[in-house]
A and B are shown apart, each in its own frame.
Chain A
Amino acid sequence: MTVMQHIWIVLGVLFVFLNIAAGLIWVERRLLALWQDRLGPNRAGPLGLFIVLADTLKLFFKEDWIPPFADKWVFILAPAIVVASVLMGIAIIPFAPGIVVADLNVGLMFFLAMSSLGVYSIVLGGWASNNKYSLLGALRGASQMIAYEVFMGLSLMGVVMLSKSFNLTDIVNAQKGLWFVVTQPIGFVVFFIAGLAETHRLPFDIPEAESELIAGFHSEYSGMKFGMFFIGEYLGISLISAMTATLFFGGWLGPAFLPPVVWFFLKTFLFIGLFILLRASLPRPRYDQLMGYGWKLLLPLVLLNLLVTGAIALWLRS
């Protein structure tokens, strides 16, 4: 591939994902409305699509205020981290054969590293806000991330064992016969739940928890800095959905009547829809329930899954 092609791919991925993230503003509000027997935003532009523009404009024109009691530089840096780390994670996703920004041989490790880095934005944002609710949110975010990061990684180890590679293109190719969701159902469920927690989406939005922490770590944020957190969250959803599709649902693989890229995005949007449905239907658990659920149920489950997968892999080899 030429340098130009690389640049085009990078720009294309950036363009597509940033637009998906922005478009999710509309998608989420429409879907939530429909599930609540309402119509949702339908006034601005066709189908209300311009609400995305309106919201973005609003965010740009809101007063960008840094509280006088905040730690100024960290406060500014925090929202940038979340967007940067998620975008870095997207770099290793193969959209179709040959369309990938960085086809790393440790792609999966890179993804795990990047998604863990995202927690810095929460911790630093909450810390720099110098507000007790924000700090509580940040602490919750950090411990939630530590807990769920462990078995997110472990849940993927079954996939790695089966595909014998950390490279995502290899993992997709290894699913040509059978999607890993069939052989690794526990791995899929745990990964998706861990993904919810990583992106702190409902029902696992403990660090924000409006009703308890009045928006938690980003209480003090306004304007485009808040917008960065906002976009970061939607990017996170897209990333986890894309990863789920890649790791367990065969990525771009699909019947030939549609091009591979379309298959990939179809699968991704399905999971995005699932994310939103979860928000529409499930209540937020208590903080201790969340931690107990992670450490006491998911961790043993995923270790068992690893053991069984390893055993079967050994048995098949012998």
Chain B
Amino acid sequence: MISHLRTMWLVFRHLFQKKVTVQYPEEKVPLYPRWRGRIVLTKDPDGGERCVGCYLCAAACPVDCIALQATENEEGRRYPEFFRINFSRCIFCGYCEEACPTYAIQLIPDFEMAEYNRQDLVYEKEDLLIDSQGKYPGYNFYNVAGLDAGVKEKGKGEDEETPVDIKSLLP
């Protein structure tokens, strides 16, 4: 009984404490770099699209709001033919960013993307692609992958030996 009264007293005292409410449109919300907001597709240091269309973000998405189609240029570099995020379904969980093996898809600290028309919340690749490397500057997936896709030749990668000469019997 005493503890009940004490609880009531403690709660009552909060009447006079500082309020945490941020009066949003007038006051701005402080957003930190890792804040999970609007989703963007970034570019690698050479200005090429980072997304290789591996479908992992789409598979990771718990609300299935990412759809894409991978395609390939003549050099064998993969990129998405289309990349669509239905933000009216997105829950900003960030799983797509976690799943992305190329740092292409990133969630940025921006949440001011409300629309009057729900259809306008469907973002295509043109709406998602930004001309920046985002949070991971300097990374280019094709430099560390084994595939020759026009970025580096076989054997020229960071951890690669020159290609094997299969006609040689030397050890």
Contacts and interface: CB of A to CB of B under 8 A. Distances in A.
Interface in A267-300: 277-278, 280-282
Given A281-B7, A282-B7, A38 B19 contact: yes
B32 interface: no
A273 B23 CA distance: 26
Interface stretch (A29-37, A90-98, A160-168): A29-37
Interface string B61-95: 00000000000000000000000000000000000
A34 B15 CA distance: 5
Nearest to B11: A281
A106 interface: no
B21 interface: yes
A36 B13 CA distance: 10
A278 B8 CA distance: 7
B17 interface: yes
B22 to A, nearest CB: 10
A44 interface: no
Contacts of A37: 14, 17-20
B11 A38 contact: no
Q: Helix, strand, loop or mixed for chain A's interface?
A: helix
Given A277-B8, A278-B8, A35 B15 contact: yes
A36 B14 CA distance: 7
B8 A281 contact: yes
A39 interface: yes
B14 A277 contact: no
B116 interface: no
Contacts of B8: 277-278, 281-282
Contacts of A278: 8
B7 A38 contact: no
B12 A35 contact: yes
Contacts of A39: 19, 21, 23
Contacts of B15: 34-35
B4 interface: yes
Nearest to B17: A37
A277 B13 CA distance: 11
Contacts of B18: 37
Nearest to B21: A39
Interface in A31-54: 34-39
Interface string A243-280: 00000000000000000000000000000000001101
B7 A35 contact: no
A37 to B, nearest CB: 5
A226 B72 CA distance: 59
A282 B6 CA distance: 10
A35 B19 contact: no
Contact of A35 (B4, B14, B21, B23): B14
A197 B37 CA distance: 45
A36 B10 CA distance: 11
Contacts of A280: 11
Contacts of B4: 281-282
Nearest to A36: B14
A24 B118 CA distance: 36
Contacts of B19: 34, 37-39
A39 B20 CA distance: 8
Interface in B1-52: 4, 7-8, 10-12, 14-15, 17-21, 23
Interface in A143-202: none
Contacts of B21: 38-39
A278 B4 CA distance: 9
A34 B8 CA distance: 14
A34 B10 CA distance: 13
B34 to A, nearest CB: 25
A280 B21 CA distance: 18
Contacts of B10: 281
Contacts of A281: 4, 7-8, 10-12
24 contacts: A34-B14, A34-B15, A34-B19, A35-B11, A35-B12, A35-B14, A36-B14, A37-B17, A37-B19, A37-B20, A38-B19, A38-B20, A38-B21, A39-B19, A277-B8, A277-B12, A278-B8, A280-B11, A281-B4, A281-B11, A281-B12, A282-B4, A282-B7, A282-B8
Given A37-B17, A278-B8, 8 more contacts: A34-B14, A35-B12, A35-B14, A36-B14, A37-B19, A38-B21, A281-B4, A281-B11
- Closest A-B pairs by Cβ, 9 of them: A281-B11, A39-B21, A281-B8, A281-B7, A35-B14, A38-B21, A35-B11, A280-B11, A37-B20
